[in-house]
Amino acid sequence: MPLSDADGPATPPDPPSPLFRTRVDERGTGHSREAEDVVAEEMPVAMVYNGISHAVMMATPVDLEDFAIGFSLTESILGSPDELYDIEVQCGPTGATVDMTIASERMFALKAQRRNMTGRTGCGLCGTESLEHAIRDIPKVGPHPAITDDAVQKAVGDLKQYQPLQAQTGATHAAAWCDVDGAILAVREDVGRHNALDKLVGHWLRTGRNFERGFALISSRGSFEMVQKSAMVGIGCLVAVSAPTGLAIREARKANQTLIGFARPGRHVIYHCGTTSAPAADAMQENKT
């Protein structure tokens, strides 16, 4: 780390970049060349609550405050952003630490969980102590606005232009919050699909907003963890670019959450339609137009 002078304080380190540039040897049929490539970066991120390390996740080093807040909410460590009193991100050569000060009752509940998750990229189950802890009780989401086929298709068609890291690296997932008409209002990216959703949740809820009107669009499969995380914060409709799993569908049914998969231009499949606050005739069938 450079110093401003021999006796002066150390210069604050530059924030870590989400990108890593490297020289590569590109090969193909009948050709070979040297080139520069840009890949996505990842680093360990430690979630520390009231001085106690609870989880270490591999993540893209950007929007880490959003990540920590969203993770805390989707994992039920916090019930609301108001229970977070302070947050500080410290980055070093081996990773990042997010120090959070939370309400004492929440810290007591966290200690009682006896979970310490040291996971791979975006892994939410590594370190879970028992089968009983692997699948948490999922809350029911309330009636939510019906999402039309046109709204889903608009968001799917627009998502790519909101993914700068994916455009440069081809390695990141995105999670977007969209309004009822399909306009994309916010996006977060990460090498881990869970992390991208956590970052979106943290970004959206920390400013006092909610997920009552609209839907979440994710660039990954609709795994049960994505259903659980989104239901924990009241997201009534989850749209995934790839397929859901059987467990995800069953969890969506328990949560009364609308779950849509294979959301691609011109087609999407509704696997479960939750209770909506308006008629949803157009959204009750597979769109093959």
Report the distance separating Cα 9 and Cα 25, nearest Å: 42
Within 13 Å, how many C-alpha atoms sit on residue 122's CB side? 20
- Token duo for residue 166: 């994916």
How long a stretch of residues is the chain?
Answer: 289
Q: At what angle do helices 246-255 and 224-232 cross, to 10 degrees?
A: 20
Respond yes or no: is residue 123 known to be catalytic: yes
Q: Is 51 left (phi over 0), alpha (psi -120 to 50) or beta?
A: left
Residue written as token pair 């870590």: 16
Report the distance separating Cα 221 and Cα 239, nearest Å: 9
Report the distance separating Cα 260 and Cα 241, nearest Å: 8
Residue written as token pair 């948490």: 136
**What is the residue-wise DSSP string for 165-188?**
HHHHHS--EEEEEE-TT--EEEEE
Of the candidates 91, 123, 237, 273, the residue annotated as catalytic is: 123
**Angle at the Cα of 231 from the Cα atoms of 101 and 102, rounded to 5 degrees:** 5
Annotated catalytic residues are 123
